[in-house]
Amino acid sequence: MPLLLKYNIGKDKSFFVNGGFFIATTGNNKKSTRITNETIGYSYTPTENYNFTFAGDIDGSDYGITFGLGKSFKLKSKTNLSLELRDNLGLVNAISGIIDRGVSGDIKTNTLNLIAQLSFDL
pLDDT of residue 106: 73
CB 2 within 8 A of CB 22: yes
Distance separating alpha carbons of residues 83 and 13, to the nearest angstrom? 14
Which pTM was predicted? 0.68
**Angle (CA) 95 99 105, round 5°:** 75
d(CA 31, CA 85): 30
pLDDT the model gives residue 51: 47
pLDDT digits (tens, 9 = 90+) for 52-106: 555 556 667 789 999 999 999 999 999 999 999 999 999 888 776 555 555 566 7
Which among 55, 65, 60 is positioned nearest to 26, based on CA atoms? Answer: 60
Alpha-carbon distance 90 to 60, whole Å?
Answer: 13
Over residues 23-54, the pLDDT tens digits come to: 988 666 555 555 555 555 555 555 555 545 55
3-state secondary structure of 78: coil
**Adjacent-strand bridge partners of 61:** 25
